Structure 1
Amino acid sequence: MISYLDLLLKLTIWFLLTSDFSLANIIIGVTICLLLPRKLTSPGKLKDWLRALVEVLIAIPQAYVEAIEIMLFPHKKEGVKMERVKPQRTPGLIFLDIFIITFTPKTIVLKYHEAGWYEVHRIKRRKQS
């Protein structure tokens, strides 16, 4: 059975894409969410989902601060760094991790490696060691 949290994540993405809360759109969204293929994994723990949602809420003001920094100060250095995926992550939580990293203006996930790594591109104000 599909996890309720994964279903909620897929429905949220559906409503963000369609911007329509009519009964017909809700029925279509639920149908599509149930028909989408999914991996058979253990369902995510509620604690992990709540922690990820808190990280999303923290990323919103952080994105504004970074956007202002980019406008006011030049960021001429850049680099690519490999970051390890947190253990025991379901595909929905991995998606949220990638969303959080990419949401902030100074970072973007270039690639997710199945071995458990994110390839993250960052811009910096100056060379940091």
Structure 2
Amino acid sequence: MIGHLILRLVIWFLLTSDLSLVNIIIGVAIALLLPRGYTSPEKLKDWLDVIVKTLVAIPVAYMEAFEIIFRPHKQEDIILERVKSRRSPRLIFIDIFLITFTPKTIVLKYREEGWYEVHQIHRGKKQS
């Protein structure tokens, strides 16, 4: 509850760019009046895993970008990646973001059956 309130207030302050008392009161009122959506419980372990993957993805993205610049990648494939079992919509969104964050891959489609369609590029012969 507090996390949702803080997130909504931060978004409100970023949108309005005003930290006056009146704007704070309006922001708190809006944050409290907005309906809460359905949230599925996520395990702390899943979130810690996502945080680690995010921290690793940043240097990997830079390395891949430099590799693409200096050694062009002319081969491309569309592969299917399995979604981890029982992922919440939030964690699926973050998975898609992390796959797309690196320059060599992009998620084309999320299949409800539990797969991501991923377009990837590489230097050499087709990979399976």
1:97 aligned partner: 95
Cα root mean square deviation, aligned: 3.3
Alignment of structure 1 residues 1-129 onto 2, 5 Å: 7=4, 14=11, 22=19, 24=23, 27=27, 31=31, 35=35, 38-39=37-38, 41=40, 43-129=41-127
When normalised by structure 2's length, the TM-score is: 0.75
Tell me by how many angstroms 1:101 deviates: 0.2
Tell me by how many angstroms 1:88 deviates: 1.5
Q: Distance in 2 between matches of 1:21 and 1:57?
A: 32
Taking a change above 3 Å as real, the CA distance of residues 127 and 55 of structure 1, as seen in their structure-2 partners, is: same
Paired residues in the alignment total 119
The structure 1 segments of at least 4 consecutive aligned residues displaced by more than 3 Å after TM superposition are 20-25, 38-41
Cα deviation code 1:71-110 (max 9, x no counterpart): 0001000000011000121111101100110000000000
Q: Distance in 2 between matches of 1:98 and 1:21?
A: 33
**Higher Cα Rg, which structure:** 2
For structure 1, the residue ranges without an aligned partner over 5 or more in a row are none
The alignment-based identity, stated in percent, is: 51
Taking a change above 3 Å as real, the CA distance of residues 21 and 107 of structure 1, as seen in their structure-2 partners, is: farther
Taking a change above 3 Å as real, the CA distance of residues 77 and 52 of structure 1, as seen in their structure-2 partners, is: same
For structure 2, the residue ranges without an aligned partner over 5 or more in a row are none
SS at match of 2:119: strand
